[in-house]
Structure 1
Amino acid sequence: MCTDSCANPKPLPPGVEPISGEEARRLIHHTAGPELEALLARARAVREAVHGTGVSLCGIVNAKSGHCPEDCGFCQQSAHFKDTGAPEYPMMSAREIADQAKAAEAAGAREFSVVTSGTRLAKESELATLEEAIRLIRAETTVEPCASLGLMRRPELERLKRAGLQHYHHNLETSRSHFDQVCTTHSYDEQLETIRAAKELGYQLCTGGILGMGETPEQRVELAETLREVGTHCVPLNFLNPRPGTPMAHLRAITAGECLAAIAVFRLMLPAAHLFVMGGREVNLGAEQHRIFDAGADGTMVGNYLTSAGTQPHEVVEMVRGKGYELRPTPDAERWAFHGEAPRETGWNRRAAEGDRKRALPVVR
């Protein structure tokens, strides 16, 4: 879900240098008042110096949902947790996935990610469907295709690269020191193995995490340090939206000030990376969500999330323009399907918000 400009990170302009982990651990506690405002001003200046004033929008489709054998404590789609209300359905058709991408493009998206539940996408029929979907997206839209498919192995990643997949998304979710409080069915090193394999194959990496899962502010900085080590091109920052039926349902959303301070610190630690603020934006930031751009973000989500409704497309566009920014077009701007106005309703990923329990998935690892 990163932009084409991240393939070879541009040199940082004079005067812009990543801050140290030590400084980040101090700044991340600046969550209110003049200290927060000074932090945001610093982060916004870096964002505009490195990335300009354009904002990239990303849309996703929940292409295969539910019955995941992993036990990630934040996720409604885990088969370990009952009565979460998550939609359950098998892999969409290639045609349906491509049509979803077209709808997202018309709403202003320049990146589109196909997301599937499960440890990894490994069934031949599903891989073939995704290959065909990627080819259709490349032929019929100008969006850059991305996929989030779990702990993928190198041979399958090579196949999808040949089909035209440009970006690979896999979140580390949290810091290594906090990961055992989030998931026990796979390891941190397994995640890093997938991320490094994707990078070696020439994918543009989209790797971030979820904040507000019981970690300390210092552990948020630890995650940013790991992202810096792996050299991710794009950092999607999510904030926990506690979902019913999951082990994290009882956690309180972190404050808007904590969110903004974290975004700003990630921007200052990773000045060359594209920084997207994604899931949980509405719940955690509320009326302050427009300030993600003050904090250094240069991208955000448009449309529905994996298992919950998101902000309507026209409201996202209005939020961007209200801060004096414009949407960053796709590389083929003349053919981009966005014509200045986004639809007033989300035209894709509806199952994510509405739920669909008519077709159940078997648990396949």
Structure 2
Amino acid sequence: MKMNLEKLKNTVLKGGQISRQDAIDLYNEDYDELRAAAEEIRKHFCQDQFDMCTIINAKSGHCPENCKFCAQSAHNHAKVDVYSLLDKDTIVNDAIEKYRRGVPRYSLVSSGKSLTEKDIDKVCEIVKAIHEIEPGVKVCLSGGLISAEGFKKLKAAGVIRVHNNLESSENFFKEICTSHSFDQKIQAIKNAKEAGMEVCSGGIIGLGEGIEDRVDMFISLRDLNVASIPVNVLNPIKGTPLENNKILDQEEINRTIAICRFINPKAAIRLAGGRANMEELGKSCFRSGANAAITGDMLTTYGARLEDDMEMVKKMDYHICAM
């Protein structure tokens, strides 16, 4: 087993790719050795870079999509705030405040299948206002299944990166959502790339999927050449169909992140939702191949305090940047 681990690690370090079956087999390698190998790959390709971002729930609730994990879906019965796109001053002030506290990336996240044309125009106005005060803010957007034309307008306004999670594998996707398809997700990512934008896309583990589904998702992200991969760990929310799902233990999370690093050696692998349920807010993930995080609260759940994350990153000898 150890010989296989070394062989696959060296394949990746030399610029090669591992196969689907290789990645599945890696999952059962010795825990400490797997994490160490993932870290060696991370250091080789990413050095000490740590990409930190924060998000704002810019438009909340009443989403027409039926994603089983989501508190904001109108099909579910979770208690969440409901509001249309926040006013410009609220978002601009929050973005500037977070940037001046040391977070280089700021993402507006919107509920719904896609932003309307009116919302896209409003986002463009907001982004321009942010950059009038702080040109250095790296503004990202999670706005659903937007057209190539919509993305071009957003890019021209200063949005540099689009977030659109695949959520899971193509095979498992229909088990968690039927109101839109995996192919529509892929098309939205291609639309963003066509517009010249960077892409942030990952998924959620703990939905009930198998390791094969996780590997398939990570391979899909590799094929799309995604720059940033958020790994969310399901935080079962009361009122959703997945409210009774088991919370994953830290070893399973770390093994999954290590496999992601083998498949996507150059990506920013970003610890995202679910940190509140992890040991030390997921600190060990950053010694298992992860090198990025969403700091602060998530959309409808608690996250990590910005100051705590800053201190942790410093103590782990990472350098915060926008990868």
The alignment's TM-score, normalised by the length of structure 1, stands at 0.82
Equivalent residue for 1:121, pick from 86, 95, 115: 115
Post-superposition CA distance 1:221-257 (Å, at most 9, x none) = 0111111111111111111011110001010111111
Q: Which has the higher contact order (CA 8 A, sep 6+)?
A: 1
Contact 2:51 2:268 in 1 (8 A): no
3-state DSSP of counterpart to 1:214: coil
Alignment of 1:298 onto 2:291? yes
The aligned runs of 1:3-42 (5 Å cut-off) are: 15-30=14-29, 35-42=30-37
Contact 1:16 1:46 in 2 (8 A): no
Equivalent residue for 2:48, pick from 48, 53, 58: 53
Contact 1:113 1:147 in 2 (8 A): yes
Post-superposition CA distance 1:16-65 (Å, at most 9, x none) = 433222111011234xxxx1110111111111111111212110000010
Amino acid at match of 2:301: S
Equivalent residue for 1:307, pick from 300, 307, 310: 300
Alignment of 1:256 onto 2:250? yes
Distance 1:216 1:13 in 2: 24
Q: How far 1:87 sits from its partner (Å)?
A: 1.2
Alignment of 1:242 onto 2:236? yes
Alignment of 1:324 onto 2:317? yes
Distance 2:104 2:25 in 1: 35
Amino acid at match of 1:324: D
| Residue of structure 2 in register with 1:162 after alignment | 156
| Residue of structure 1 in register with 2:123 after alignment | 130
3-state DSSP of counterpart to 1:307: coil
The aligned runs of 1:1-365 (5 Å cut-off) are: 15-30=14-29, 35-82=30-77, 84-124=78-118, 126-141=119-134, 142-283=136-277, 285-287=278-280, 289-328=282-321
Contact 2:139 2:160 in 1 (8 A): yes
Post-superposition CA distance 1:55-106 (Å, at most 9, x none) = 1211000001000000000100001112x11111111112221111112213
Q: How far 1:321 sits from its partner (Å)?
A: 2.0
The alignment's TM-score, normalised by the length of structure 2, stands at 0.93
Contact 1:13 1:50 in 2 (8 A): no
Distance 1:236 1:49 in 2: 20
Post-superposition CA distance 1:187-211 (Å, at most 9, x none) = 1111111011111111101011011
3-state DSSP of counterpart to 1:276: strand
Post-superposition CA distance 1:268-310 (Å, at most 9, x none) = 1101211111111231x32371111111111111111001121
Q: How far 1:123 sits from its partner (Å)?
A: 4.0
| Residue of structure 1 in register with 2:5 after alignment | none
| Residue of structure 2 in register with 1:334 after alignment | none
Q: Kindly tell me: are residues 15 and 121 of structure 1, through their superposed partners in 2, closer, same or farther at Cα, counting changes over 3 Å?
A: same
3-state DSSP of counterpart to 2:54: strand
Greater per-residue helix proportion: 2
Post-superposition CA distance 1:102-154 (Å, at most 9, x none) = 12213321111100011100142x22210011112222222211000011112
3-state DSSP of counterpart to 1:293: helix
3-state DSSP of counterpart to 2:304: coil
Amino acid at match of 2:18: I
Distance 1:170 1:97 in 2: 20
Structure 2 gap ranges (5+): 1-10
- Following TM superposition, where does structure 1 have runs of at least 4 consecutive aligned residues deviating by more than 3 angstroms? none
Distance 1:56 1:287 in 2: 19
Matched-pair identity in %: 33
Distance 2:201 2:13 in 1: 27
TM-align CA RMSD? 1.7
Contact 1:17 1:271 in 2 (8 A): no
Distance 2:68 2:40 in 1: 36
Which range moved further: 108-117 or 66-75?
A: 108-117
